[in-house]
Amino acid sequence: MRSLLLLIPDLFFGVKVADAARALGFATRDVASAAALPAAACEGVAGIVVDTQVRSDWQAAVRALKADPATANIPVLAFAPHVDVEATRAAVAAGCDRIVTRGKLASELPTLLRELFEPLSGADA
């Protein structure tokens, strides 16, 4: 079973994302910090969901993933508050594959997860 890595410090929102991912057939793994993200991204990871409000350097972690040929193709979905234009710009600069507002993620969660991560999940299912 393919898994999604979740770097979401908000416990309640993290549970919501994890529940939606599991309903689509993914396993989920919480990542404690951005520094741990590159090491956690291994074979079998279908994608990564990053909350841009993480207090650690998530941008450097995403850049490291995208620079490594072994993990460069793992899609990264970032979400930010709709008023945080800087976080959105940082996500684009870091190489995130899709950036949405927190509200859009909440309202379209299964669709967004399916669109970005499911095409790869069938390979190892």
| Three-class SS of 19-75 | HHHHHCCCEEEECCCHHHHHHHCCCCEEEEEEECCCCCCHHHHHHHHHHCCCCCCCC
Predicted TM-score (pTM) of this structure? 0.89
Instruction: Supply the angle between the helices 85-94 and 58-67 in degrees, to the nearest 10.
Output: 20
User: What's the domain count of the chain?
Assistant: 1
Closest-CA residue to 117 (of 57, 62, 77): 77
Question: What pLDDT digit, counting tens, does each position of 65-115 carry?
Answer: 999 999 999 999 999 988 888 889 999 999 999 999 999 999 999 999 999
Is pLDDT at 121 greater than 70 in this prediction?
Answer: no
Task: Provide the CATH number for the domain around residue 111.
Answer: 3.40.50.2300
pLDDT value for 56:
81
Is pLDDT at 122 greater than 50 in this prediction?
Answer: no
Is pLDDT at 123 greater than 50 in this prediction?
Answer: no
C-alpha to C-alpha distance for 84 and 75, rounded to whole angstroms: 22
53 contacts: CB under 8 Å, gap ≥ 6: 9, 10, 80, 81, 84, 87
pLDDT value for 119:
58
Question: What pLDDT digit, counting tens, does each position of 13-63 carry?
Answer: 999 999 999 999 999 999 989 999 988 998 779 999 999 988 788 999 999
Supply the range of the domain harboring residue 100.
Answer: 3-121
